[in-house]
Amino acid sequence: MAKEEATTKKTEAKEEGAAASKHKSVVYGDHRRRKIKPCLLVFGVVVVILVIGGIFFAVNKPKDPRFTLDDLCIDPVSNSSVLAKLSSRNPNPKSGINYSKVSVYVRIQEGFESQFETERVDLESKYQEPGEVTTWTAVVASNNDNNDKRHGTFQNRIGVVNGVVAADFSLKWKSWIFTKRLHVRCPVMINLKDLTSSVPKPMSSCSTY
């Protein structure tokens, strides 16, 4: 009888221990689930905010201005200076654009002794209203007789080569917090004799990056 009672007590103790262990597991599992639910909620809120922010950014991001090379010609007043004329149009219906740190120059890409660039000409800053077209004019070279290649004496050379009228701008949209550096490149066929366009008023579209 004593042995049977001892065996019964051991069995009851084991059952009580198993029940307690099971209870602890259930409590621990419930506690872990309660901690996971807020984390999932926070994660879901963050995902929704990011999605809404991405949509807002895509819809409201202002567009870059569009540039056209109007002409690369001899100034009719001085009859010696080479003028580069570009125009930019603001395609945004609601946001104006501030242009700053503007520089314009001409680059000959091939057909010369080496790649050649005129000096960069700095232009004043401007503000452009939505939908407005702005003209940029720079004296990029002077066809004088002092054989100063850096300033553009091409009167003793002949031929037509590929070149670009290049301009660099810093842009700040009125409705945007960021500033962007924009590089404009306008392809043009250039007369080596006077550094002018081989086609009067080329009106060619320009690429930007």
What are the beta bridge partners of residue 104? Answer: 121, 167
Strands (DSSP E) contained in 133-203 are 133-142, 160-173, 179-191, 196-197
pLDDT tens-place string over residues 134-158: 999 999 988 654 444 444 444 456 7
Strand, helix or coil for residue 29: helix
Strand, helix or coil for residue 66: strand
pLDDT tens-place string over residues 11-59: 544 544 444 444 444 444 555 666 666 777 777 777 877 777 666 656 6
- pTM of this prediction exceeds 0.75: no
Please state, as a whole number, how many other Cβ atoms lie within 10 Å of the Cβ of residue 176: 15
What are the beta bridge partners of residue 87? Answer: 68, 135
